[in-house]
Amino acid sequence: MKHRLEKDAMGSMEVPFDAYYGSETFRTIQHFKISGQKVDLALVHTYAKVKKATATANMRAGKLDKEKANAIIKACDEVMSGKFDDQFILDPFQAGAGTSLNMNVNEVVANIAIEKLNGKRGNYKIVHPNDHVNMSQSTNDTYPTTVNITCYSLLHELLLPVLKSLEKSFDKKSIEFSKIIKIGRTHLQDAVPMKLGEEFEAYSGAIKKSIESIEKSSYFLLEVPIGGTAVGTGLNTGKEYQKFVLEELKKVTGLKLRRANSVFTDMSFRQDQLELANSLLTTSVLLTKIANDLRLLSSGPRTGISEIILPSVLPGSSIMPGKINPSIVEMLNMVCYRVMGSASTVAGAVSGAQLELNVFTPVISYELINSIRILSNAVKAFDVQCVRGIKANTKNINKYIEMDLEVVTALNQYIGYSKAAQIANIALKENKSILQVCIERKILDKETLEKVLNPKNEV
């Protein structure tokens, strides 16, 4: 392999001749072979947007000459388009604060810009990664800004649409099942009757609250610390740049970004990202509860509850012929457990920050972006391949409702709790319905009993 020689603060370094990245990126590649994964390209593309906005702001402020600025802007456009995705191969677990990724972007953009100015890669006298591409910036303000914008965009492009679709699917099922009376269950024991549609109404409501939580947390992601540079003071920027950079970043992202009320807070605390992690955690907890309910309600098909029938997607056993499992729901469970763990990682990383900087932002971004992606995919599959095809097993539902002991609750107002409990115990012991026992013991006249103990009159 041919190499070119580059120099940085650590000394000289041979870099693959054809690479658009430079010495700092290559050092990172050599020293941080951790997970075998790569930084999410959505983060890279957003970082290029930030670099485009900063180059334009520096040009407007008279800090960066027009020729260099335009070359950098064009280079950023090409990075944003995905043309140079193969130049971003850093491991997500890298040096603290995200400096490695920032320099990866700086070097690639610089070398693309150099070629546009008819220079050769590595000739940083033409366009320098630090002096020109990183002008008026630090990793410490650009990386958290990039993470916030990336997460906001992915939430609104991926996760929120599929959650809203899932909410609608549960709404439709609640209407479809609105006339089906079934046994309610508390403590995993038989309770008073309810409608199957009401059970699904609860699921729809939980998803709606999750959507509201995510939307609220995403609002705070629009506050960015861009312009704070190293510790929040804005050293090496200037007032004009501070004004222009937010204007340009709004243009290039199309988002209603706001400058953080306290740049110092946003750079040393990652509270906005913690809020997002918590909303994803809440969503995963609620989805897990729904998934567990559906697995219980569909258990069987002959020796479980089997009140609903889930769509079959694949054989469930390598040894038991004909066995079908709730595979899509099990997948959702596993994804939710992973997102819960990610939220714990984010909480640890936020709490581990010290003084003016959170050096653990790379793992925060990795966990948040990965959680958004896998949760989006899982919710979509759950909605399309499971929820929309759920059917009610009315045969079993009706069988259970006929033998429900807790319809006796409706007799409390006529005979009192204690006597009603005695009747329930007799019905259980003799394996009879509540109505049978009441008629045999002439608790009330038959017409009143049939009216009072009719499950339809109890919901």
Nearest to 64 by CA among 145, 138, 131: 131
Contact status, residue 35 vs residue 362, Cβ threshold 8 Å = no
Q: Is 136 a catalytic residue?
A: no
Q: Which two tokens stand for residue 387?
A: 């929820």
Q: CA–CA separation, 253 vs 325, rounded Å? A: 44
Of the candidates 35, 178, 317, 344, the residue annotated as catalytic is 317
Comparing CA positions, the residue from 147, 174, 383 lying closest to residue 273 is: 147
Provide CB contacts within 8 A for 233, sequence distance 6+.
none
| Positive or negative torsion for Cα 407, 411, 416, 420 | negative
SS3 at position 358: coil
Cβ contacts of residue 35 below 8 Å, gap of 6+? 91, 92, 93
C-beta atoms surrounding 83 within 10 Å: 12
Separation CA 202–CA 205 (nearest Å): 5
CB contact at 8 A, 281 and 339: yes
Alpha-carbon dihedral angle through residues 91, 94, 99, 102, given to the nearest 10 degrees: 10
Close Cβ partners of 305 (under 8 Å, ≥ 6 residues apart) = 296, 297, 298, 299, 396
- Would you please indicate which residues are annotated as catalytic (active-site) residues? 317
